[in-house]
Structure 1
Amino acid sequence: MLFNHFAQVAYKPNYKRVTLSLLLSISPAICAQQLPCNPSCSNTSGEYINEINRVGVLTVDNVALSGVAPADASGNYTYENTVLSLGRGIIFPGTENSELNATKLTIKSQASLNTHARAITLGSHSNNTMLTSTINDSSIIFKSANGSSGKNTIGILMESDMSGQVYNINFKNTDMHISSSASNNMVGGIWTYSTNGFAETNIALDNSNLTVESALGSAYGIRTENKNNPQNSIITIQDLNPGSINVKGYGAAYGISIDTLGKNTIIENKSDINVQTTAKSGQAYGIFTRTQESIINTQAQNITVKGGILAHGINTQGMGNQTIVNSAAITVESSNQATGILTQSTSNTGNVTVSTVGDITVRGSGNTYGISATSGGNSTIDVASKIDASNATGTGIYSKTTSGDNNIRLHAGANVIGGSNGNSAGISMQSISGNQKLTLEQGSQLSSLGDLALSSENYGGNTEINNSGTIIGYANLTGDNVAFNNQSAGVIDLKDFGQGSKGDITYNVGSSNGTFNNAGLIKFADENFDGTATNAIFNVATFNNSGIINLTGKNPDGKNDLVGDTFTINGNYVSEGGSIYLNTVLDDASSNGGQGTSDLVVVNGDVTTGSGATNLYITPTASTANLGQLTMGDGIKVVDVQGTSSTDAFKLGRPVVAGAYEYTLGQGQNDENWYLSSYYKGNSGGNGIIQYNPAMGAYLANQTAAVQMFQQTLFDRLISSSDGKNNDASKSLFWMRTKMTHGSYDSIHGSLSNRTRSYSLQMGGDLNVWALNNGGYFHLGVMGGYGDFKDTSKSDTTGTKTDGKVKGYSTGIYGTYFANQDTNLGLYVDLWSQMGWYRNEVSGEAQIGTKKYNSTVWSNSVEVGYGLPLAISGEYQWLATPQAQFTYNHYDVDNQHDKNNLYISNNNASGLDTRLGVRFHARGVQKDLIEPFLEVNWLNTTAKNELDFNGKSYKDGFAKDRFEAKVGLQGNINERWSVSAQVGGQWGNNSYNNYQGQLNINYKF
């Protein structure tokens, strides 16, 4: 079919539907009110090439059209399953809703156009009745190759000259690709424009993708302009399901741009936004708004922006309130300035609010900001993600207010990082007249590579810092009323030793009335390079400490040998309990001008005690040569007080021992400083009493315990009772005894008190009994035993305790000769030899860990006695048995070295033990009776019971000469079983005493 102008075939208004099933060719004639020209039409100047002007309803189904488009001021248009290849595009200027379904629209503009080129035009400059346009399951490709310079290439244009217009456009499952290679050409994907003000504009993207490219001009993904009418318009951009907005421009590029005088702008974006400029001078914005008030809620996965001299992820500007809620991961890169989120409210009443759970990363050689917020009213920033501005001049968060309050909160999971430049901060706050408040929740972190974690300026209000997270670096807080509260969960890491770090860390807390309240942890970080000691300076009026201050950083090799750090308070220190940890070289204090070498707390003010003393925890440095030496003078200075100090302000949190000595804390004789000294001075003046490491007493006690644990006499094994019925030497014997002891003595020149207790169990039995020709008998048997010993060695001056433990096993043989059948009378000789193996431990409140080691004892004994009858009194016969026993013990143990740098060597516990005594015994004459007995002995040992500690010999307080007494009862249960029980004690010099109880059982067969 051929419609042409000469045939006078014109469109009739009553044609409601046109169904075409054949090739349609339109000859050039009239471009209005009829089917227009074919692609060869050239009777116009180019603006209306290949288009159709329509009045009425046009429905095109399943038809391929080439070179035509409907265009008119009114009408409803529906394109379904249609492929259009057009030059000028589609114009929907009517008053009803428009819809494109499954449409593939390809527009290639090769000619230079006199006006702006667009693929789809919605509305007109003179029509204000358009409602909703919908594009479903479609593809729109618009390529402008040679458009005129300065002209625009637009994918979809919504325009109106009328005020009060309401525009809606919905995209579903649609891909749009708009591009231009023309110079100075603005390329837009979706552009809404009004000269008199929209009442409302709504753009909805549902699983749709928009790509916009301008090779030599600027590019906009979505652009809205409403410049000439400042009415209360609403602009809403919303994603129902995620797609993508991809924009690449030369001079400038915008993912979403809204420039309007209206008061309400709402962006609810789920689509990823990728924006890039190719020119070195290019400026790139992910989302840009310049409006009265903005609400931006980004729910995209990613917003990625790469610019030349400037790049912003989100930028909002206006005189009203600006609100940004972000969950997208924002990445911004620029050769100069880069900002993740920038928001500004220029009026005195406008507030800015930023809330982000999406990570923000910015990189640029110029000033960069993760978040930048300025407001004449209030500023509120909430962060629950990572803000990384760790380039040279980066600031993680910058917030400034002129008349309102400035509030920043880092939620759990937040991590804000500033740059390495000296002025680059993790967070920078500024307020002209309002109050400022920064809150770090537990699980949040604030830092910068240059160590300036926090900067705050306040010229009229109050500043409050509440930290329950982690702050790495220092703070510079100016203002008259500043309160820094490091709460119980808060951590302040004074030194990161990173890029741009310096030797001194200065916390400025207020100009005059600053208060620092520490209830958490303040610490020096471990060094990650071989550096020098660090000085932390707190310029504050009052420093209240109820938390922890830890100066004991480690070197890269993990050794705790850094010493010389200082913690200086230029103000007053109030002790509210709390703790301070210091590294100290525990030597003679001759270094450093006679004051020793230690981490040091310096108070350039007064020290007072509030609710309790501050505990000092001293860690001896790993690099100390000859660790543990006697101090000189006042000792090693650990707290330097320039003002006055209360006498109960500091105390040791745990005992301090190194090598052979223990160190205590006290004030100097002529100043207010606090020192560590190896002497207990008391009221004696002079150097006082040397304080020894109580572990020395435990090592010595363990040695003695191993030697004494399984010592025995014949009558510890044998119960010899009654009138000869059950004391027959011809009978074999099984025996068992259990013994418990409890004792005490002084050691190491009387400076240590030892309290001991032990338990042992031994048993054995005869292997054979031989009757000798002279009427005597010889018994041969074996034995074994288990023992457990514990000693508590306590310093008499400090009360510090160390525990020694020994667990042992033994096995041996014995042989006993009786001159006659009655074991109570006549001569006996008892021989035994046994080997003991022992597991030793030393631990305590002053010890680093538990020291474990092994030892052995080989003992050999000869005992001789002679039973003598004394008298018979009533039912009892009294006997006396003089005794002599000689036992040689050989003790063996390797040299030891514990973690407190105590070297133990040259054990001297081997030697001869001698016992001389007499046993008095009453036995039944005619029948079995309960029989009393009494033993008294003199005990002597030639063993010196010495050990060398760090090259010097020290002796145990175990008495060389001791008096022993035992008293007990024994009796027969029947002809085979006998039992005895006894108690006893030993006494000697060095306040030695040892009390014991023993239970014996015999079985004769």
Structure 2
Amino acid sequence: MANILTVDGNYEGINGNVVFNSKLNGDNSSTNKLIITGNASGTTYVTVDNQGGNGSQTLEGIELISTGSSTADAFVQSGRIVVGSYEYHLQQGTASGTNMNNWYLTSQSDNSGNDSNAGTAHIYRPERGSYASNLQAAATMFDMRLKDRQGGNVYIDPLTGERHKSNLWVRSVGGHSEGRISDGQSKYSTNRMVFQLGGAVLNGSLGADDAWHLGLMGGYGKQYSNTHNSLSGYNSKGSVWGYSTGIYGTWYQNANIKTGLYADSWLAWNWFNNSVKGDELSYEKYKSKGVTASLETGYVFDTGSYMTSGGMENNVYVTPQAQVLWSGVKADDHTEANGTTVEGRGSDNVQTRLGVRLSMTGQNHLDKGSVRQFEPFVEANWLYTSKDYGVKMGDNSAYLQGNRNVAELKTGVEGHVTANLSVWGSVAQQIGGNNYQGTQGVLGVKYSF
């Protein structure tokens, strides 16, 4: 493959294009070469096709063109040159600023002649952020808590004493997050939308006061992400969309009142289509799939009641709660059009949540004796994830930063509008390290019968 073309004398480019076949790795990569014994001038565009290289860090660079002398714009890169985790670019001279008559491919930032710090930063591809964001989205897209679907909890009609056990519910989720990639060069942002619905299909009790419910659920979700590399200026867009189907179960110690112990669990199968599109690169498409599961428990304490001056009766509740979620979603190994192998990192992940919820049921004196009741609440949670989500491309890996330890503040309101209809809504803000932050809003409706 290492063919050499020699031009004896001067060379002037007239906006033509030269294609080099190269096995892109480090400085000693096998590549075609162009040798010009005289002066190189004009403009010639340079395209590099990778021939099985895995990508690697360069030191001084991969020499493509040797000249007796060269103008600064004699050779111009045409299109991105990427393989593995690295972004190569064509420059005049080595990374340390020597051999300025020759032209090199380098994975380092542009040299600046006498700048002793130049050429020390290797440029990484923004596509890494897209692959990592896609995997995290697929692994967590359909995660939920008991209150996110209202859990099929029993509602007692105060007028008739009738117990509503079965229900149908639907919820929609919108979220935004942003953070940094572990390479220190790239930032990412995401926007997601999720729709889920389900309903209780079996009900029962183990004793006089408790109740349990089993239900089925399904959902559709999608996320779009954008990653920007500050050194190269290139962007990459990721997208993931897919479906989920599963089963859930809930047990209440005291079915007829709000207080006491509860336990909730769900198990779901999820499958997704993914794509990554980097600037000036072709679409990369692949699939991901896997099982997710959750176990949650909490205890509702009634801390007392009071009457406002306006005649509203309020009961105050405190609920410490804990949840463990497991994600077995995995992305298929993928090979890009340029030959880069892509493997996800962070599967078989466990997330724990510890928190406390403060809520207050309120009923105006005009509504006393009716079913209409509202419950504003605020929650504080600590979320810990056992692994960072990331990707390995070629010989190097990168991870999303800042979301392994996250503090969350959530507020919202739930309400019984009629004997059969309940609604709820909430907004949550998350903050982590490395400038990670996320915002999520939820709206839900449930009909009991």
> TM-score by structure 1 length?
0.40
Deviations along 1:790-842, whole A, 9 cap, x unmatched? 22222221122222221111110111111123463221111111110111222
**Which residue matches 2:62?**
636
| Cα distance between partner residues in 2 of 1:729 and 1:615 | 80
The 3 A distance-change label for structure 1 pair 871 and 642 is: farther
2:87 corresponds to which of 645, 650, 662: 662
Amino acid at match of 1:731: K
Which gives a bigger RCO, structure 1 or 2 (Cα 8 Å, sep 6+)?
2
| Cα distance between partner residues in 1 of 2:275 and 2:257 | 42
**Which residue matches 1:101?**
none
- Does residue 677 (structure 1) correspond to residue 106 (structure 2)? The answer is yes
| Cα distance between partner residues in 2 of 1:823 and 1:902 | 58
Q: Shift of the alpha carbon at 1:551?
A: 2.3
From the CA coordinates, give the structure whose radius of gyration is larger: 1
The 3 A distance-change label for structure 1 pair 532 and 955 is: closer
Amino acid at match of 2:295: V
Amino acid at match of 2:55: G
- Does residue 711 (structure 1) correspond to residue 143 (structure 2)? The answer is yes
Q: Shift of the alpha carbon at 1:676?
A: 2.3
Amino acid at match of 2:105: L
**Which residue matches 2:250?**
816
Secondary structure of the structure 2 residue equivalent to 1:698: helix
2:290 corresponds to which of 857, 879, 883: 857
Is this contact kept in 2: 1:763–1:784, CA < 8 A? yes
- Does residue 883 (structure 1) correspond to residue 312 (structure 2)? The answer is no
2:405 corresponds to which of 961, 965, 984: 961
Q: Shift of the alpha carbon at 1:678?
A: 0.7
| Cα distance between partner residues in 2 of 1:844 and 1:891 | 24
| Cα distance between partner residues in 2 of 1:729 and 1:685 | 73
1:915 corresponds to which of 323, 339, 353: 353
1:979 corresponds to which of 414, 423, 429: 423
**Which residue matches 1:694?**
126
**Which residue matches 1:797?**
231
Is this contact kept in 2: 1:968–1:982, CA < 8 A? yes
**Which residue matches 1:779?**
213
Is this contact kept in 2: 1:590–1:632, CA < 8 A? no
| Cα distance between partner residues in 1 of 2:77 and 2:353 | 47
| Cα distance between partner residues in 2 of 1:684 and 1:989 | 32
- Does residue 551 (structure 1) correspond to residue 18 (structure 2)? The answer is yes
Amino acid at match of 2:191: R
| Cα distance between partner residues in 1 of 2:396 and 2:44 | 32
Is this contact kept in 2: 1:663–1:679, CA < 8 A? yes
**Alignment length (residue pairs):** 428
**Equivalent residues in 2 for 1:424-573 (5 A)?**
534-535=5-6, 543=12, 545=14, 547=15, 549-552=16-19, 563=20
Q: Shift of the alpha carbon at 1:915?
A: 0.6
Secondary structure of the structure 2 residue equivalent to 1:699: helix
| Cα distance between partner residues in 1 of 2:360 and 2:45 | 64
The 3 A distance-change label for structure 1 pair 945 and 631 is: same
| Cα distance between partner residues in 1 of 2:273 and 2:162 | 40
Is this contact kept in 2: 1:657–1:846, CA < 8 A? no
- Does residue 768 (structure 1) correspond to residue 195 (structure 2)? The answer is no
**Which residue matches 2:433?**
989
| Cα distance between partner residues in 2 of 1:678 and 1:544 | 25
Secondary structure of the structure 1 residue equivalent to 2:147: helix
Q: Shift of the alpha carbon at 1:788?
A: 0.8
The 3 A distance-change label for structure 1 pair 653 and 986 is: farther
**Which residue matches 1:825?**
259
**Which residue matches 1:253?**
none
Amino acid at match of 1:701: S
The 3 A distance-change label for structure 1 pair 865 and 938 is: same
Secondary structure of the structure 2 residue equivalent to 1:701: helix
The 3 A distance-change label for structure 1 pair 644 and 911 is: closer
**Which residue matches 2:54?**
627
| Cα distance between partner residues in 1 of 2:419 and 2:403 | 42
**Which residue matches 1:381?**
none
| Cα distance between partner residues in 1 of 2:177 and 2:243 | 22
Secondary structure of the structure 2 residue equivalent to 1:884: strand
Amino acid at match of 1:754: Y
The 3 A distance-change label for structure 1 pair 758 and 538 is: farther
Instruction: State the Cα RMSD in Å.
Output: 3.2
The 3 A distance-change label for structure 1 pair 920 and 649 is: farther
| Cα distance between partner residues in 1 of 2:332 and 2:152 | 42
| Cα distance between partner residues in 2 of 1:601 and 1:725 | 89
Q: Shift of the alpha carbon at 1:846?
A: 4.7
Is this contact kept in 2: 1:681–1:689, CA < 8 A? no
Amino acid at match of 1:675: Y
Q: Shift of the alpha carbon at 1:534?
A: 4.3
| Cα distance between partner residues in 1 of 2:441 and 2:342 | 33
**Equivalent residues in 2 for 1:414-425 (5 A)?**
none
2:71 corresponds to which of 638, 645, 655: 645
**Which residue matches 1:895?**
333
Deviates more, 1:730-739 or 1:597-606: 597-606
Q: Which runs of 5+ in 2 are unaligned?
A: none
Identity %, equivalent residues: 30
Q: Shift of the alpha carbon at 1:984?
A: 1.4
Amino acid at match of 1:654: G
Amino acid at match of 2:302: P
Is this contact kept in 2: 1:912–1:941, CA < 8 A? yes
- Does residue 841 (structure 1) correspond to residue 270 (structure 2)? The answer is no
| Cα distance between partner residues in 1 of 2:437 and 2:2 | 56
| Cα distance between partner residues in 2 of 1:1001 and 1:616 | 60
Q: Shift of the alpha carbon at 1:850?
A: 2.4
Amino acid at match of 1:636: I
| Cα distance between partner residues in 1 of 2:80 and 2:49 | 12
Amino acid at match of 1:1003: Y
Is this contact kept in 1: 2:330–2:344, CA < 8 A? no
| Cα distance between partner residues in 1 of 2:76 and 2:179 | 29
| Cα distance between partner residues in 2 of 1:616 and 1:702 | 35
| Cα distance between partner residues in 1 of 2:35 and 2:428 | 55
Q: Which runs of 5+ in 1 are unaligned?
A: 1-529, 553-562, 564-582, 609-613
Q: Shift of the alpha carbon at 1:972?
A: 3.1
Is this contact kept in 2: 1:911–1:943, CA < 8 A? yes
The 3 A distance-change label for structure 1 pair 651 and 755 is: farther
Deviations along 1:835-879, whole A, 9 cap, x unmatched? 1011122222253x3222222121121100111223434223222
Deviations along 1:395-422, whole A, 9 cap, x unmatched? xxxxxxxxxxxxxxxxxxxxxxxxxxxx
Deviations along 1:955-983, whole A, 9 cap, x unmatched? 33362111112122333332222222222
Q: Shift of the alpha carbon at 1:617?
A: 4.8
Is this contact kept in 1: 2:3–2:31, CA < 8 A? no
**Which residue matches 1:866?**
299
Amino acid at match of 1:896: H
Secondary structure of the structure 1 residue equivalent to 2:406: strand
Q: Shift of the alpha carbon at 1:890?
A: 1.4
Is this contact kept in 2: 1:606–1:645, CA < 8 A? yes
| Cα distance between partner residues in 2 of 1:719 and 1:764 | 10
| Cα distance between partner residues in 2 of 1:653 and 1:1000 | 51
| Cα distance between partner residues in 2 of 1:764 and 1:732 | 11
Q: Shift of the alpha carbon at 1:599?
A: 4.5
**Equivalent residues in 2 for 1:4-153 (5 A)?**
none
| Cα distance between partner residues in 2 of 1:982 and 1:910 | 29
Is this contact kept in 1: 2:425–2:443, CA < 8 A? yes
Q: Shift of the alpha carbon at 1:894?
A: 3.5
| Cα distance between partner residues in 1 of 2:330 and 2:2 | 46
Is this contact kept in 1: 2:39–2:69, CA < 8 A? yes
Amino acid at match of 1:800: Y
| Cα distance between partner residues in 2 of 1:814 and 1:650 | 63
